């Protein structure tokens, strides 16, 4: 009987201890220092993540700008200056007149204007000189007229260049537009030089005709005087 009682007391004591341990484990202890430390760590991690994201975004933006700066204009605007210059060269020569574009210019000039000499047919020679002078003047005027008719196409090219300049995206396209404008300036200077050459052609053709006529008349007069001396000495 006594043993049963002792056993019952031991069992009750063990059961009491078993029931009190879980209750003690469920008690939550708040540590303010540890909580602040953990919160600051999380904030620092979040700020680092934000900084990395901002850095990546800036790098992507820089790459986009570099790609934009290296972007080319698909096709340039160059105009049709070669065709215009060819047309001006062709129109400067009228008929069989001497033109600045003739390959055998020196030979043609020497044949047209022989200098101090008596022609076999003065009327025919003078007609050739006059036609050459008039043809040179006509060619110069035709060149000026053709250039006047080319203003419309040139204005269209300048309008395209202005549009490209206004819409240039990045340094590369701006540089390309600048190169196109510079080439147009050179081409305009070429046209101006060609117009000046046509003008010189007309002026020099007229001066050559006048000079040749003076030399021819003097040569004819000299030949007549010499013939008179010969006639008198033979009497």
DSSP per position, the chain:
-HHHHHHHHHHHHHHHHHHHHHHHHT-----HHHHHHHHHHHHHHHHHHHHHHHHHHHHHHHHHHHHHHTPPPSS---TTHHHHHHHHHHHT--TT---TT-TTHHHHHHHH---S---S-HHHHHHHHHHHHHHHHHHHHHHHHHHHHTHHHHHHHHHHHHHHHHT--SHHHHHHHHHHHHHHHHHHHHHHHHHHHHHHHHHHHHHHHHHHHHHHHHHHHHHHHHHHHHHHHT-
pLDDT of residue 24: 47
- Least confident window among 34-38, 118-122, 185-189: 34-38
Which residues neighbour 112 within 8 Å (Cβ) at sequence distance 6 or greater?
Answer: 98, 128, 129, 132, 208
- pLDDT tens per residue across span 95-116: 778 888 788 888 989 998 999 9
Contact yes or no for 89/140 (Cβ under 8 A): no
Average pLDDT in the 115-140 region? 90
pLDDT > 70 fraction of the chain, expressed in percent and rounded = 69
Q: Which of 153, 157, 152, 179 is nearest to 168 (CA)?
A: 179
Q: What is the pLDDT of residue 207?
A: 92
pLDDT at 141 over 50: yes
Q: Which two tokens stand for residue 72?
A: 């080319």
Q: Per mean pLDDT, which of 66-70, 79-83, 175-179 is the most reliable?
A: 175-179
| Cα distance between residue 59 and residue 51, in whole Å | 12
**The pLDDT of residue 54:** 72
Residue 235 — pLDDT band, cuts 50, 70, 90? low
* Higher pLDDT, residue 57 or 214: 214
Structure tokens of 148?
Answer: 């006047």
Confidence of residue 218 (pLDDT cuts 50, 70, 90): very high
What confidence score (pLDDT) does residue 91 get? 73
Residue 99 pLDDT: 84
Q: Is pLDDT larger for residue 13 or for residue 203?
A: 203
pTM exceeds 0.75, yes or no: no
| pLDDT attached to residue 209 | 92
pLDDT band at 146 (very low <50, low <70, confident <90, very high): confident
CA separation for the pair 179, 201 (Å, rounded): 33
């Amino acid at each position: 009987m006594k043993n049963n009682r002792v056993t019952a007391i031991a069992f009750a004591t063990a059961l009491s201890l078993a029931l009190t341990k879980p209750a003690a484990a469920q008690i939550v202890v708040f540590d303010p220092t540890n909580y602040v430390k953990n919160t600051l760590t999380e904030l620092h991690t979040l700020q680092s993540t934000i900084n990395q994201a901002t850095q990546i975004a800036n790098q992507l933006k820089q790459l986009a700008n570099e790609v934009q700066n290296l972007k080319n204009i698909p096709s340039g605007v160059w105009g049709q200056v070669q065709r215009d210059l060819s047309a001006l060269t062709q129109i400067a020569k009228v008929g069989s007149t001497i033109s600045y574009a003739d390959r055998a210019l020196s030979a043609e000039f020497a044949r047209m204007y022989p200098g101090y000499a008596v022609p076999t047919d003065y009327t025919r020679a003078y007609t050739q000189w006059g036609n050459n002078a008039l043809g040179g003047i006509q060619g110069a005027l035709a060149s000026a007229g053709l250039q006047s008719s080319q203003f419309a196409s040139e204005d269209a090219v300048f309008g395209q260049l202005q549009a490209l300049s206004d819409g240039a995206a990045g340094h590369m396209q701006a540089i390309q537009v600048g190169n196109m404008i510079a080439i147009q300036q050179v081409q305009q200077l070429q046209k101006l030089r060609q117009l000046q050459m046509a003008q010189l052609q007309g002026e020099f053709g007229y001066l050559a005709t006048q000079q040749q006529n003076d030399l021819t008349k003097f040569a004819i007069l000299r030949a007549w005087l010499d013939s008179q001396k010969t006639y008198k000495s033979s009497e």
